[in-house]
Amino acid sequence: MQPSIIEMIYSQREEIMKRWEEEVQRVSENEMGRQLPYDKYNETNAEFIHLIIDTLELDQNEAKEKLRFFAERLIHAGWPLSYFTQGMQAFRRVLLETMTSNDSLQSKTVFTTFYEIESWIDGIINQLVDEYTGSWENTLHLQKLALKELSAPLIPVFEKISVMPLIGTIDTERAKLIMESLLEGIIEHRSQVVLIDITGVPVVDTMVAHHIIQASEAVRLVGAECILVGIRPEIAQTIVNLGIDLGKFPTRSTLRKGIETGLELTQRKIVDI
């Protein structure tokens, strides 16, 4: 930034800092003020404005680096990104106000100065937002992957018997995974009976039921049998209300009963010794 601007800012340093604090208080009062202890909030504000003013004389990359460091630390501690963007914007507003209230400055000087300040601040805001959303998207992507890995496991519990426990919401993508993993698993483990456990599925609506029916139909086509287990009482009533016909395929109330049925179907049973 041009030395003349920095000089101008420094000459009115106290005034600018005071106004900035008022401005920030006004903008973020409703969100931030309430959640944080007053002291801590003021302390951070003071640190922020000092940082902004001190970084003015550095070149832009260095300034960005410093502000990023500050932002990272606070975001890590749970401060919202909007605190920084609003803080920078408030700084810009305050500067403009200060400049326009100074009659000795020509409007052209005000304009060029403001233009320079604006691009300086926008550059920093953009970088902050970019990095913040970047790391956010990255986290989201990783979580999606992790979820996908958890979404449709087929567990061979006995010879010829496998269990697929389903937990959580079933959407279209997951329904597809369930189908694939069921069929592949049946071939791989040479299963004859597959138990689909829906204890952990919060809502069984027509779409979920439809996917389960389709999956069990496909299982039948590859020569195995599908038993639906873990139907909670309220889910049973909802299914009946919805008018979904599950008459065609076997269901059991619990996984344990399902396994007993599976053993029966493969001519085995559990005995006490």
Partner 1 sequence: MSVQSNVEVHTEWGIVSARQAGRNLAKELGFSSVDQARITTAISELARNIYLYAEKGEIIIESVERMQSTGRKKGIKITAKDEGPGIKNIRQVMEDGFTTSGGLGAGLPGVKRLMDEFDIDSIAGEGTEITTIKWNS
Which region, judged by CB under 8 A, interacts with partner 1, from 15-23, 94-102, 127-135, 200-208? 200-208
Query: Six-digit token pair at 238?
Result: 């909802």
Does residue 247 belong to the site contacting partner 1 (CB under 8 A)?
no
Report yes or no: 196 and 166 within 8 Å, Cβ to Cβ.
yes
What is the Cα–Cα distance from 174 to 208, expressed in whole angstroms? 10
Grouping H, G, I as helix, E, B as strand and the rest as coil, residue 141 is helix
Which of 78, 241, 269, 273 contacts partner 1 by CB under 8 A? Answer: 241
Which region, judged by CB under 8 A, interacts with partner 1, from 4-12, 82-90, 183-191, 234-242? 234-242
What is the Cα–Cα distance from 92 to 58, expressed in whole angstroms? 17
Site string for partner 1, 35-74 (x = CB under 8 A): ----------------------------------------
CA angle 205, 177, 262 (to 5 degrees): 75
**Between residue 214 and residue 233, which ones bind partner 1 under the rule CB under 8 A?**
233
Does residue 246 belong to the site contacting partner 1 (CB under 8 A)?
no
Edge-to-edge, what's the strand order for the sheet holding 193-200?
155-158, 161-167, 193-200, 225-229, 251-252
Which of 14, 59, 103, 234 contacts partner 1 by CB under 8 A? Answer: 234
Report yes or no: 44 and 20 within 8 Å, Cβ to Cβ.
no
Which region, judged by CB under 8 A, interacts with partner 1, from 50-58, 96-104, 164-172, 249-257? 164-172
Q: How far is the CB of 245 from partner 1 (least distance, A)?
A: 8
Query: Six-digit token pair at 144?
Result: 């999606």
Which of 49, 52, 95, 209 contacts partner 1 by CB under 8 A? Answer: 209
Q: How far is the CB of 230 from partner 1 (least distance, A)?
A: 14
Sign of CA dihedral 254, 256, 260, 263: positive
What is the Cα–Cα distance from 131 to 153, expressed in whole angstroms? 35
Does residue 210 belong to the site contacting partner 1 (CB under 8 A)?
yes
Q: Which residues bind partner 1 (CB under 8 A)?
A: 169, 171-172, 202-207, 209-210, 213, 233-235, 237-238, 241-244
